[in-house]
Amino acid sequence: MVQVDVFWSYAIGAGFGTAAARAAVAEPVRPLLSDRRFTTTVLFLSCVFAPSGLWLVWQFTGWETMHAAPTTADLPAWLVATFAMTNVTQGIVGYCVARHLWRSGHRYLSWLQMPLGYFAMFFVLAYGWDGTGYRRFFAPTTAAWRAGEFDPLGFLTSPVALTLYGMGVVLIPTMLWLQAGWWAGDGLARARAGALLLVVPFSLGLGTAAVATVALRTLGVLPGLLACAVLVVTVFHPRGLAGLLARAFSLTTRRSVPAPSAA
């Protein structure tokens, strides 16, 4: 969705950035534009992620805009161009921030960029701007949204959902395979890292966003915001759930390989 992809792109880029920085620990320091993993990340964002967003905004305009724009005619050209651009640029920002934090010694903060991005993404998806984000998501057409329909099970077989499945089969395994390889190399360690990378968005991202949405809808704006602040600090604190998952990643890292002698 247009409103969430800016955060999703950041999370993807940050995930690549932290994994790349970890993989490069035993390598000579290279400028960003000489970093082959950065090139891989940009190619993924521009050739896989960004096209998927444009496909959805063209084919399912109402759903992709959370029913803010029912048809393509309701979208200004500059907005579509900006959407396409930010699906790449925000991922680059995420990569650079995570890379810089890791190299500065702030490894937990570097790793945290990914789950924070997913949390922001899922919060907008669940709450939206008026508490109806999840209802907008499960309305496959603008007509269904305007009619007040809410049928999550029916959505699962809608053209929108079927398209998402097809895209997910390409996007998610490719992303996990690349990032897991940078974290852990090949073999069983790579599979374990991939499983951990899959757990993070749904536990720290979706899970936290769902609780925050319920808090806001139940308690009201001010008490809800206070509860959300406490929730976020608790979950993402180094001694919270995020810290627990981050420590699990350290078990999948590779041993440093000594640089070859110049002699």
* pLDDT tens-digit map of 75-106: 999 999 999 999 999 999 999 999 999 999 99
Which residue do the tokens 């995570």 mark?
98
Check pLDDT > 80 for residue 117: yes
Check pLDDT > 50 for residue 42: yes
Check pLDDT > 60 for residue 251: no
What was the pLDDT predicted at 20?
96
DSSP per-residue letters across 33-97: GG-HHHHHHHHHIIIIIHHHHHHHHHHSHHHHTTTSSSSGGGS-HHHHHHHHHHHHHHHHHHHHH
Question: Across all residues in the chain, what is the average pLDDT?
Answer: 93
User: How far, in Å, CA of 151 to CA of 63, rounded?
Assistant: 14
Which residue do the tokens 């620990």 mark?
25
User: How far, in Å, CA of 206 to CA of 78, rounded?
Assistant: 31
pTM: 0.92
Find, among 91, 93, 99, the residue nearest to 23 by Cα.
99
Any idea what the Cα angle at residue 212 is, between residues 209 and 217, rounded to 5°? 125
* pLDDT tens-digit map of 210-221: 999 999 999 999
Check pLDDT > 70 for residue 162: yes
Place 52 in a pLDDT band, splitting at 50, 70 and 90.
very high
What was the pLDDT predicted at 256?
43
Number of H helices, E strands in the chain: 14, 0
What was the pLDDT predicted at 219?
96
* pLDDT tens-digit map of 183-202: 988 889 899 999 999 999 99
